[in-house]
């Protein structure tokens, strides 16, 4: 089961708030209303994530519209899994995640994005200077 994290739901809500602001500060456009209902339910139940297949169709469509504006892949074209690493030093994905990425659902891809962002130890999250120093075997920040 792939799940949509509440932070992605918040990002989608903010996307729609900017795209279709309330005309009177009270009424919500349909996309926002659909997402807000799922969000309120998650908050009430103290859930951090919800099964993507349990989303109402209109809420999933609104979330998917936001998702389609995000980068599809964390790849930075430095793939160390092709050289035997279990996790790519460039993007942080496992060999299996890299291999099966095109077939993954949007929610599963966002789960991987969340994990690698939270870990933030892949090169994609470091500045180039730090990566170059690491390649030369120097301590970071020197």
Q: What are 78-88's pLDDT values in tens digits? A: 888 888 889 99
Number of domains in the chain: 2
The whole-angstrom separation of Cα 102 and Cα 16 is 27
Which pTM does this prediction carry?
A: 0.80
Interacting residues of 137 by C-beta distance below 8 A, sequence separation 6+: none
**5 secondary structure, DSSP code:** E
Same domain, 36 and 92: no
The whole-angstrom separation of Cα 50 and Cα 3 is 5
The runs of H, that is alpha helices, within 24-141 are 30-45, 57-67, 95-100, 106-119, 128-135
Domain closes at, from 50, 70, 90: 70
Same domain, 85 and 140: yes
Q: Is 17 helix (H, G, I), strand (E, B) or coil?
A: helix
Q: What is the mean pLDDT of residues 69-93?
A: 89
Q: What are 35-59's pLDDT values in tens digits? A: 999 999 999 999 999 999 999 999 9
Q: Which domain covers residue 141, as residue numbers? A: 72-142
């Amino acid at each position: 089961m792939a799940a949509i994290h509440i932070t992605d739901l918040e990002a989608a809500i903010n996307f729609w708030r900017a795209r279709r602001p309330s005309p009177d500060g009270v009424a919500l456009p349909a996309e926002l209303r659909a997402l807000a209902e799922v969000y309120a339910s998650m908050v009430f139940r103290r859930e951090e994530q919800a099964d993507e297949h349990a989303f109402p169709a209109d809420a999933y469509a609104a979330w998917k519209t936001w998702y389609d504006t995000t980068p599809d892949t964390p790849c930075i074209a430095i793939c160390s899994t092709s050289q035997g690493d279990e996790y790519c030093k460039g993007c942080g994905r496992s060999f299996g995640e890299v291999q099966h990425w095109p077939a993954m659902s949007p929610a599963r891809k966002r789960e991987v994005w969340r994990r690698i962002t939270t870990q933030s130890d892949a090169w994609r999250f470091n500045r180039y200077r730090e990566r170059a120093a690491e390649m030369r075997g120097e301590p970071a920040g020197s």
